[in-house]
């Protein structure tokens, strides 16, 4: 199939997750992107050098753009987030979605896609979500469908997000829409609605352990005491037991470490939802090596991040015996966060500032990954949309 060329208006663009997802689905994407975070803008310019920056969403006007085929927007979600203050549509940041809706009205794209947090469903007892649906309906001429998707169906990160797709006309043939996608539990949360003007539609991190073997506080600057680590790590939470158990390969969320009401700190074999500060750690083995002399006497011991060469004569003079002593907890690296969101390694490592390529700080890299859409999820949606872009 020949590559379909589309013009995309990428609002609240971040580091280009929507752009990259459509590219991977076989589209040639000409992006006009809007973002106010200068570091995200710098990464976008570095990764998509033919893209056009159009400034803040409040300044973008449809009349100033070429024909737009696709509008994507993962509008700021803090006021909808279950972890936020839940100001909803009254919040200063989340109200920016009205600017995106304005641009859908002005540009009349074939398709628009909105991504947001699960908490949007319940914000103000659901009134905010239905107000947004009503706003889409008032544009006229679009059908909308949406589904709560989880990144864990594609990558090892538990990240639930609403994806809403609006399209102006259905293609010929038996096309049945975009959703359901993903895991087997996804079919029950698919919603479709015709909104054609209708109204009234309802470094390394560690732990210090207490005497009971439970970590009372997860601290980004402390290291585990190897004498007190058990076969499984006990992480305090609000369950009846008072803790969750973690072992090698599990993730631990160490945000709000002293909270007595938090649940779900441990991800069994996958990451919890990435946030902008990357309060995520992974449990991995800590390797200890003992160096012995020719008589087998231990002359030195040391902790290692990775195992060294295992010699055929291990235990002989000058050689090292190696084994797992215990566990350690370390923060995820920026590259690991990129992979959990479906980006290539070092996607966020550099940016273009005033025409000059500069290195990106880890703080900004974590923030950008936490704010991004998951590329693999977008790609899966984009694959289903090919019939809508056929002439």
Catalytic residues: 77
The answer to whether 331 and 281 have CB atoms below 8 angstroms apart is: yes
10 DSSP β-pair partners: 33, 72
User: Which residues, other chains included, contact 257 with Cβ-Cβ below 8 Å and sequence gap of 6+?
Assistant: 217, 218, 219
Calculate the CA dihedral of residues 203, 206, 208, 210 and round it to 10 degrees: 160
Please give the Cα distance from 99 to 123 (Å, whole number): 19
Determine the Cα–Cα distance for residues 80 and 92; give it in Å rounded to an integer: 11
- Residue 365: count other Cβ atoms within 10 Å of its Cβ: 25
User: Within 10 Å of residue 99's Cβ, how many Cβ atoms?
Assistant: 18
Q: What H or E segment, with its residue span, contains residue 302?
A: strand 298-304
Q: Quote the CA–CA distance of 255 and 244 in Å, as a whole number.
A: 15
CA–CA separation, 97 vs 93, rounded Å?
8
Strand partners, 218: 207
- E strands along the chain, which residues? 4-11, 27-34, 52-53, 70-73, 111-117, 142-150, 160-167, 190-195, 206-208, 214-215, 217-219, 233-236, 243-246, 251-253, 266-267, 280-292, 298-304, 320-331, 350-353, 356-359
Q: Which residues of 59-76 are buried (b: 16+ CB within 10 A; e: fewer)?
A: ebebeebeebbbbbbbbb
Gap between the Cα atoms of 158 and 331, Å rounded:
17
Handedness of CA 368, 373, 374, 380 (dihedral sign): negative
How far apart are alpha carbons 88 and 78 in whole angstroms?
8
Residue 383 phi, psi (nearest 5):
-60, -35
Residue 122 structure tokens = 């319940």
């Amino acid at each position: 199939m020949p590559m379909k060329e589309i013009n995309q208006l990428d609002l609240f663009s971040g580091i280009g997750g929507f752009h990259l997802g459509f590219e991977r689905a076989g589209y040639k994407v000409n992006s006009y992107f809007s973002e106010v975070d200068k570091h995200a803008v710098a990464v976008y310019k570095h990764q998509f050098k033919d893209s056009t920056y159009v400034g803040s969403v409040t300044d973008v006007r449809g009349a100033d753009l070429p024909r737009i085929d696709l509008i994507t927007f993962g509008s700021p979600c803090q006021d909808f987030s279950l972890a936020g203050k839940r100001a909803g549509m009254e919040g200063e940041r989340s109200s920016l979605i009205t600017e995106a809706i304005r641009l859908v009205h002005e540009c009349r794209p074939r398709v628009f896609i909105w991504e947001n947090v699960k908490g949007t469903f319940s914000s103000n007892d659901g009134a905010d979500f239905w107000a947004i649906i009503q706003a889409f309906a008032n544009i006229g001429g679009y059908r909308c469908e949406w589904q709560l998707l989880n990144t864990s169906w594609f990558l090892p990160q538990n990240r639930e997000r609403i994806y809403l797709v609006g399209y102006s006309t259905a293609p010929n043939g038996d096309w049945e829409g975009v959703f359901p996608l993903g895991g087997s539990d996804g079919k029950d949360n698919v919603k479709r609605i015709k909104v054609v003007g209708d109204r009234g539609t309802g470094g390394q991190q560690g732990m210090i352990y207490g005497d009971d073997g439970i970590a009372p506080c997860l601290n980004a600057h402390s290291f585990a005491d190897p004498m007190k680590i058990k076969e499984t790590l006990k992480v305090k939470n609000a369950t009846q037991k008072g803790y969750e158990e973690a072992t090698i390969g599990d993730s631990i969320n160490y945000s709000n470490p002293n909270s007595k009401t938090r649940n779900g700190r441990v991800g069994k074999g996958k990451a919890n939802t990435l946030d902008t500060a990357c309060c995520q750690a992974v449990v991995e083995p800590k390797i200890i090596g003992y160096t012995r002399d020719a008589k087998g006497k231990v002359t030195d011991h040391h902790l290692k991040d990775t195992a060294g060469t295992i010699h055929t004569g291990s235990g002989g003079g000058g050689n090292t015996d190696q084994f797992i002593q215990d566990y350690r907890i370390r923060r995820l690296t920026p590259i690991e966060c990129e992979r959990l969101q479906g980006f290539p390694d070092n996607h966020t490592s550099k940016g273009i500032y005033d025409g000059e390529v500069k290195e990106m700080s880890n703080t900004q890299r974590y923030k950008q990954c936490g704010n991004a859409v998951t590329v693999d999820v977008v790609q899966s949606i984009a694959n289903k949309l090919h019939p809508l872009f056929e002439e």
